Amino acid sequence: MMKTRTSTFIIGAATAYGFAGILLIFAVRLGVLPVQADAAPGRLEASLLRSALHASVARHAPTGGNPQPSPETDSTMGGTSYRQLCSRCHGLTDRSDNTYGNSFYPPAPNFALRGTTFSEGEIFWIVKHGIRNTAMPAWGSLLTDEEIWRVAGVVRKFNSTREPESAPPAEP
């Protein structure tokens, strides 16, 4: 009797999931799912994508932090790279116009305004490898690991230096 109930439940669950999968495939094939970048995603979509991003980055990022602790010169050099390569999308100060970065889907975070929850190793991994289906490119073929660690250090410092008009160090 117990086996019958269990197997009936399993068959019912498999049928329900199968039906949902078939509906999703039809929705995809018919083009009814929104894909435009200028429409705000629903809460469920945003939550799922955010969770997937954080889980994947945490799984693949190096642990243990920056292998070369950043002295002041590294911070200055990282600040220069950040200004040149990152600030247009991610902001330079908490009052920066982030219109360009906000036009992406998903919008590029303004680190000077909100900081980040990612660790320095996770920032390194994101900068090096980019994020698929966003405007975040992979910088690993253009920057050395040392340069990427410098930028990661600067981005991470935004969490502790979020004061009005805080910005990465200027060029020497």
Q: What is the pTM of this model?
A: 0.75
User: What are 10-47's pLDDT values in tens digits?
Assistant: 999 999 999 999 998 988 889 887 777 777 778 888 88
What is the pLDDT, as a whole number, of residue 170? 52
DSSP per position, 129-147: H--TTSS----TTTS-HHH
User: What are 145-169's pLDDT values in tens digits?
Assistant: 999 999 999 998 888 755 434 455 5
Question: What does the block give as tokens for 79?
Answer: 């600040």
What is the pLDDT, as a whole number, of residue 69? 66
Which of 89, 56, 82 has the alpha carbon at shortest distance from 143? 82
CA distances from 52 to 1, 10, 41 (A): 41, 27, 15
Segment 123-128 shows an average pLDDT of 96
What is the pLDDT, as a whole number, of residue 53? 92
Tokens 């509906």 belong to residue: 23
**CA distance between the termini of the chain:** 79
Using the predicted structure, report yes or no on whether residue 70 has a pLDDT greater than 70: no
Between 75 and 58, the higher pLDDT residue: 58
Using the predicted structure, report yes or no on whether residue 65 has a pLDDT greater than 60: yes
Distance CA 125, CA 99 (A): 25
CA triplet 157, 57, 116: central angle to 5 degrees?
Answer: 25
Distance CA 105, CA 103 (A): 7
Segment 94-98 shows an average pLDDT of 78
What is the pLDDT, as a whole number, of residue 90? 93
